Structure 1
Amino acid sequence: RQGSLIERLTALPARPATPTELLRVHTEEHVSLVASSRGRTFRFDPDTQAGPRSYDAALLAAGAAADAVDRVLLGEIDRAFCAVRPPGHHATADRAMGFCLFNNVAVAAAQALHRGLKRLMIVDFDVHHGNGTQDIFYDDPRVLYLSSHAFPFYPGTGTLDEVGVNLPMPPGLGDEEYARVYRTIAEPIGRAFDPELVLVSAGFDAHRGDPLAGMDLTRKGYAELTEVCLAIAEGSARGRVVIALEGGYDLDAIAGAGAAVVGGLLGARPGKLTWPARGRLDPLVDAYRKLLAPLWPVLEGGVSGPIPTAC
């Protein structure tokens, strides 16, 4: 099955991000500091260390995301999955943190805005909140950032009252719980915003096989999240989705979940995920709706019962 996926993909070489692309989202001081790590071992903070070639890899990661946006907007490719390292969503405008040097998805979003798009949505289902991405676009109404993440957890941001759509989640949630949150909260908001492009920060550290976070997603759950992103992209985005790899600490989990996401981009349809009309997530979903409905009237009244997988 992995082989059949690969046969349907077009592999594209990564190119380095240009200084102009980086400086749309990062300060000159930050770009210079990361560049100074080239050829040596350098520690940005207790968690984030660069090796001799980390700078080159980070340039390629950010450049690949920007190039994927260009190719999708030009119609050269339909959608893209950027299998890049290092990840990016913790990197702020002026700081490397959480293993992230440059913010790949932010560079991609800025590229899309530079090409003339007016509304972008970034969906981040990494188990950690993408504080860097949120910070970079905090005051930009053209970019809607939506994150589901374990809370309280590193980096400690992503509360319900922050700008954007933050969906803090308790540990132990699996496919059905994620499906409920994404189908009843994320998808209606995304469709109402009607972005011209959907960018995805795809972290696979909420997988049940990942040793860090204590979440319980499987391949089926990640396929469902991909379906939601594609559903959001059905309007003005005309199906255009660019996904960038973020976190994950178990190679088998990353491989399996990544294959499920790529399969979704290629048109594979997961089996339907349903959930009880009432369940342990009720207080949390009610809190999401209470806070978000004044900004997103589409959430008023709620949704009862299971939501079928989109076709």
Structure 2
Amino acid sequence: MAGPRAIQGPAMTDPLKLERRRRAIHGWLLLSPALAMLTVFALYPSVATFWTSLWSRGTRRNPSEFIGLENYRALLEDPTFWKVVWNNLLYAGVTIPASIAIALIMALWANSRIPARSFIRTAYFTPTVLPMIAAGNLWLFFYTPSFGILNKIGALFGAPSVNWLGQPDTALWAICIVTIWKEAGFFMVFYLAALQTIPPDLKEAAEIEGASRWTYLRRIVLPLLMPTTLFIFVNAMINSVKLIDHLFILTKGGPSDSSKLILYYIWENAFAYFDRPAAAAMTIFVLIVLGLLAAFQFLVLERRTHYQ
């Protein structure tokens, strides 16, 4: 009896090993395009950026030298950097919740039974399809002192002319308004798609139970929209760091760095001042912050989100 068992054992396990190996190879082949893209466009640039941040700024007479974390120390001692960080935090703190709230309100209205619903949806989404440079030029006309539409409207009520983009107290807020106007329609599309997946039976059941519209919205709609809200929040957070197109048109970070954001400051150091190591150090700082926020998303927010 021992002989046949000893012979049949490898014969039974070899097909299983071959099947597992075939599935593993098939899985890696499916993952290889994504891994190649991530390696070329994400991992390698990140490693190269970190390596660049460890060197000094080089010139023809003084070639760059390895200085370790000196660029990071100089970055932490740079008052302009901290002013830019504060500007970006304020910019994100204003644009993210405002864009999400306005997008939700527009989606709820555009999803209801109202006349010209298709026209309203198109009108809300129109700012999204405009290039940011075109949107910046459009709002530049709105903000122009004395001749801009906003000052013309204010003059009808006796308000003085305001240089919206030329004053430190108003420049960043003017940039925030442009961003909210541009992004709210884009986020509305995701909310609108999510609202259309909610079964109408839930609303009928809530009406039978005597629940008000506010109760239905708060108890049923908003919890079911949490996955979409989380997705929109992550996109809005990324956009608050990467959007700099309108700064080139409207303020160029001025006046007195009052509207300068982190990505514009990185571009300025890399391509205007030709200080690539300092720009690389700031880039690593941004990647670390975004990584921590991503970890918070997966460890905390993801667990509090119900997908069904």
TM-score normalised by the chain length of structure 2: 0.25
Normalized per residue, the structure richer in helix is: 2
Normalized per residue, the structure richer in strand is: 1
**Greater relative contact order (CA < 8 Å, ≥ 6 in sequence):** 2
TM-score normalised by the chain length of structure 1: 0.25
